[in-house]
Amino acid sequence: MRLILASTSPRRREILELLGLPFEIIAPEFDEVSSSDCAVEDEVLDFAIGKALSVARHYPTSLVLGSDTMILINASKIGKPDSTPEARRILRLLSGKTHRIFTSVAVVDGSGGPGLKIIEEVSVKMRDYSEQEIEHYLSCNESLDKAGAYSI
């Protein structure tokens, strides 16, 4: 059976490649619209399912994997920054604090069946870091395609 990764994330591609299984990548047609009324656990899973289903409906005989990551700090949900100033703001917010990372994975088939749905949660304590360190990290151009504006 054909396996499709519904993602444009280079990191997700790298992770799936570690399994040694053949797969294709198709960018999902799904808009991630956050809602303050939705719990982070529900939203991160809804986004993964939405991404997978947006691709699966075009490939009814395939398994499609969607995923999403979101950060929770001070009751605020944080996804990918949409600009360098936003990434800077997020990195400043996270400095010296503990936050929770939620990652979801959904596997669906082309019929839209219930499939597999998983959410993992971890806590990360960031050390205090300086403005100079933030600027250096931003200059590496790794912040804009990652929830929380960083990668570990």
Which residues participate in catalysis according to the annotation?
Answer: 68
Cβ atoms 124, 152 nearer than 8 A: yes
Query: Alpha helices of 68-142 — where are they, by DSSP H?
Result: 84-94, 131-139
Rounded CA-CA distance 114/29 in Å is 19
CB within 8 A of 114, min separation 6: which ones? 108
Rounded CA-CA distance 109/115 in Å is 7
